Amino acid sequence: MKRLLLSSVLLSAIVTAKPDDGYHYSPAVGWHWYNEPAPQQETLEARSSPQKTLSAVETMQKIKALGDELRNAAVLDPKSPEKLARWMAFQNYWSDNASQFSATWQKVLLLKPELDYNNRHSHYNATATLSYANEQKAQASAIKAVNEHYGVFFFYRGKVPLDAKLAQVVREFAQQYQMAVMPISVDGVINPELPNSQKDRGQAAKMQIRYFPALFLVDPSTGSYHPLAYGFISQDDLAKRLLNRVTDFTPRD
């Protein structure tokens, strides 16, 4: 019964038009709408002209419109078992279709393993430690490159608590990785966490820095500089930012 109802639903929406005889209409106009047959005014050429083949997008649009019609018809007439049955058959079709789609997806993963994202980035909990270890290794390499070729400028405001909180993170990060960090106070107030700070002598304005606190990666050999962070950032995220900067934001497999 379900397949019979479904066939009626889909055929009404997408099959080739049949001549109007009071029972068949093209395009479909919904269920339980009665139309008088239109006068037979078509020419012989019009009758024999080939029907346009619908694209996948056009077909889906028609099926969606049909689904909307069936649902609305059932909602507007909740006492009609026939209308609700048609809507249920339509729903069941898509449920079956989704199940088949999922099954075919799994089949394709075996036929074409190069399309399986899990082969490059495993989503299983058992492999999470391996992924984390690989990421840590990549970050360590980036930090090593920073120590060898770059430096970090830390622009902060000595009177602002948020900047003081980030100063703790920067100090601990620099100590852990033996990283060269130049703290620069933009308001002239030196943070006791960073006793080696310098007062800003126009560097922030020259580098067009307008938001603080700010961390910048600086290449002394070329004088180039790139932002690492604005505002507060954790040590873990700072390590990720350094990796992204050193690799120029190259995606990692």
Q: pLDDT digit string (tens) for 103-117? A: 999 999 999 999 999
The CA distance from 243 to 218, in Å, is 14
Helices (H), the chain: 2-14, 44-48, 56-76, 81-111, 128-149, 161-177, 203-206, 235-246
Q: Span 5-21, mean pLDDT?
A: 47
- Say yes or no to pLDDT of 47 above 80: no
Give yes or no for residue 27 having a pLDDT over 80.
Answer: no
Alpha-carbon distances of 184 from 19, 127, 171, 175, 246, rounded to whole Å:
83, 42, 13, 17, 23
CA distances from 58 to 95, 103, 204 (A): 21, 25, 57
Residue with tokens 């060898």: 148
- Classified as helix, coil or strand, 225 is strand
pLDDT band at 54 (very low <50, low <70, confident <90, very high): very high
For residue 218, the SS3 value is: strand
User: What is the share, in percent, of the chain residues with pLDDT greater than 90?
Assistant: 75
pLDDT band at 39 (very low <50, low <70, confident <90, very high): low
Q: How confident is residue 177, by pLDDT bands cut at 50, 70 and 90?
A: very high
**The amino acid at 220:** P
Query: Are the C-beta atoms of residues 62 and 14 closer than 8 Å to each other?
Result: yes
The answer to which of 24-38, 149-163, 175-189 has the lowest mean pLDDT is 24-38
In a 13 Å sphere around the CA of 213, the CA atoms on its Cβ side amount to 26
Pick the CATH number of 125-246 from 3.40.50.150, 3.40.50.2300, 1.10.1300.10, 3.40.30.10: 3.40.30.10
Confidence check: pLDDT of 16 > 50? no
Least confident range from 15-24, 213-222, 239-248: namely 15-24
Neighbouring residues of 9: CB distance < 8 A, sequence distance ≥ 6 = 66, 70, 86, 89, 90, 93
Question: Does pLDDT of 12 surpass 70?
Answer: no
Instruction: State the span(s) of the chain assigned CATH 3.40.30.10.
Output: 125-246
Determine the average pLDDT of the residues in 120-126: 89
Does position 36 have pLDDT exceeding 60, yes or no?
A: no
Q: How far apart are CA 207 and CA 190, in angstroms?
A: 21
Compute the mean pLDDT over every residue in the chain, rounded to the nearest whole number.
86
Cis preceding linkage at 213, omega within 30: yes
Residue-level pLDDT at 52: 84
What is the pLDDT, as a whole number, of residue 252?
Answer: 77
